[in-house]
Chains A and B, each alone.
Chain A
Amino acid sequence: MSNVIEQIEQQIAKLSTKAVKKNTGHIRTVADGVAKVDGLSDVMYNEMVQFPGGTIGIALNLEQDEVGCVVLGDVSQLKEGDEVTTTGKLLSVPVGRALLGRVVDALGRPIDGKGPIASTETYPVEKIAPGVMARKSVSQPLFTGIMAIDSMIPIGRGQRELIIGDRGTGKTTICLDTIINQARINKVGLASGDKNFRPVYSIYVAVGQKQSNVVRTISALEAADALQFTTIVAATAGDNPANQYIAPFSGAAIGEWFMENGMDALIVYDDLSKHAVAYRQISLILKRPSGREAYPGDVFYLHSRLLERAARLDGKGSLTALPVIETQAGDVSAYIPTNVISITDGQIFLETDLFNQGIRPAVSVGLSVSRVGSAAQIKVTKQVGGKLKGELAQFRELAAFAQFGSDLDAKTKATLDRGSRIVELFKQPQLNPLAIEVQAAVLWALQKNYFDSIDVKQIVTAANSLRDFLITRKSELLTTVRTKAALSPEIEVDLKAAAEEWKATFSAK
């Protein structure tokens, strides 16, 4: 037996004296989070490099005499002449279920004080998006819980839908509502024991945001009990631009793990305007040629390669992306907004005017679109909400003209009246997503003119009352609507009975 031990010891001794080859270089300059390094003749593009003190960097500019590396950490301890070594690895982040319920930085390291993450797998941060053969068309819905969106601008699993608008118009709120709605659906679905149920896990990437906003987001998700299905990747305004540049790609890698392993995931990039600004800063420091608005020439590719990673894979899962773009004074024709609009499969445009008028969510029906269309809608939503977008668009057009004239014909008055009721009905408080069956029942009541006799100012109260009535008194009917996902004559009879009952109680008040 001692012979065996000796053999093992010899093997260990052999290993421990084996020379390790490293490719090295030395820092020439360090400025603004970027180190210029000479040497590193074997370094690969996008390879991780090791600075003294365990600081990590990425080789982004491979030039004739030097390598430009962005430093993902504290640069204050680095100095000229310090040795830099290659690692032979591309930048990777930990992935897996262990990240759910956690808040991590751009490199996947926990920052929530809940201890280390028990993850055994890592995924590269930069990865080529799945090819055409691996993909499947988007046909399964992803419910946001926001009636205006689910009925008029449906989002499908694997879609990229842009949320765009000025500051303070409720972009983040729509994203948080969607995450909370996924958590609510997950809880109902997992409790039902349905084997075909596919939960949606969420990843929220905060880029360049204030730390206080990130804390508020975490609190909102915790309060709604949605954090258990969510991972938050935070690269706040206080982090260096390299971390802000990497964070969305790290989030995409975390989401890809779910997709590759047959699960569905949702990723929110909040927001890509600040991401482009961080990338512009890095590129200018690296002395890359600048183009329009001083952005580098590859700023389109930066976002296209990121958003192309969202997909629905044949025989596997899906990754749905909700990128956020902040506009200046509602200008959707600026450089970065037009880039991202052209990459995504549709956009939800939020208008400041609507927001200030109290129409929240302030979705502009005319400028919002989902290019996947009704393919990502269930039948019941198509049945009750198929004509809503047209009616609302007609209303907006007529409302503009109606301001100038007092004499309106009966048809115009009817269109305006109906439109104003739809607008009121779509008003929804924040962080309060609605189940699709409740949305369907309310829209059915609208379609069948149950709101026509109610004063426009009372529509919000009436809609809330109907929702409460259905949830508390007609839960079985709602379950039937959800499971059948279509309106049959029998369901319509039950809905009619429920609506009559509600109308009688509401009118009596």
Chain B
Amino acid sequence: MAADKKTKVLARQLFKLSLADGQVSAEKVSGVLGWVDKHEPRQPLALLKLYQNLIATELSRLNAVVTHAGPLAATALGQIEQALTKKYQRRITATARPDAKLLAGLRVHIGDDVYESSASSQLAALSV
């Protein structure tokens, strides 16, 4: 069942309550989940899915997923963190994820933005 307007508003309110100093706080998230468990709001499943989506989106804005083919030096990950922190003006961490499908190069995924520098994407561009 699709979430109604009230549920969407509530999910956004709960999301705001989950932030501490502009960042998602594990402690506050536990508190929110406890409140949902105790008070049983309407459309609990839709509410929790929306809430999860908002938290995941927020976390993805703070954690860059670096997909790479072949070895990636530990210093490279640090450099990426530094560069992204400077660009987005917020503390960003980077997580490496190997993926042989890229063939060569990197793909950095942060929030909605993707920085693509891989052989597979260039081959895909050539095929269009």
Interface residues of A (CB under 8 A from B): 16-25, 38-42, 54, 65, 85
Within 8 A of A (CB), among B90-128: 105-106, 108, 111-117, 121-122, 128
A21 CB contacts on chain B under 8 angstroms: 113-116
Minimum distance in angstroms from B51 CB to a CB of chain A: 12
Minimum distance in angstroms from A150 CB to a CB of chain B: 50
A54 CB contacts on chain B under 8 angstroms: 128
Known: A22-B116, A24-B112. A38 touches B53 (CB 8 A): yes
- B114–A24 contact, CB under 8 A? yes
- A19–B115 contact, CB under 8 A? yes
Number of A-B residue pairs, CB cutoff 8 Å, is: 41
Q: Mark B25-47, 1 if CB is under 8 A from A, else 0.
A: 00000000000000000000000
For B127, the closest partner residue in chain A by CB is A54
- A17–B117 contact, CB under 8 A? yes
Minimum distance in angstroms from B50 CB to a CB of chain A: 8
Minimum distance in angstroms from B127 CB to a CB of chain A: 10
A16 CB contacts on chain B under 8 angstroms: 122
B111 CB contacts on chain A under 8 angstroms: 39, 41
A17 CB contacts on chain B under 8 angstroms: 105, 117
Can you list 7 contacts pairing A with B, beta carbon distance less than 8 Å? A16-B122, A18-B117, A20-B116, A21-B116, A22-B114, A23-B112, A25-B112
- B112–A19 contact, CB under 8 A? no
- A40–B112 contact, CB under 8 A? yes
B115 CB contacts on chain A under 8 angstroms: 19-22
Q: Ordered nearest first, which 9 A-B pairs have the shortest CB separation?
A: A19-B117, A39-B112, A19-B115, A41-B112, A22-B114, A20-B116, A24-B114, A23-B112, A21-B115
- A23–B113 contact, CB under 8 A? yes
B57 CB contacts on chain A under 8 angstroms: 38
For A21, the closest partner residue in chain B by CB is B115
For B61, the closest partner residue in chain A by CB is A41
Q: Mark B1-28, 1 if CB is under 8 A from A, else 0.
A: 0000000100000000000000000000
B108 CB contacts on chain A under 8 angstroms: 19
- B105–A24 contact, CB under 8 A? no
Minimum distance in angstroms from A444 CB to a CB of chain B: 63
The distance in angstroms between the C-alpha atoms of A494 and B64, with both chains bound, is 88
Minimum distance in angstroms from B128 CB to a CB of chain A: 6
B8 CB contacts on chain A under 8 angstroms: 65
A39 CB contacts on chain B under 8 angstroms: 111-112
A40 CB contacts on chain B under 8 angstroms: 112
Minimum distance in angstroms from B87 CB to a CB of chain A: 10
B114 CB contacts on chain A under 8 angstroms: 21-24, 85
B128 CB contacts on chain A under 8 angstroms: 54
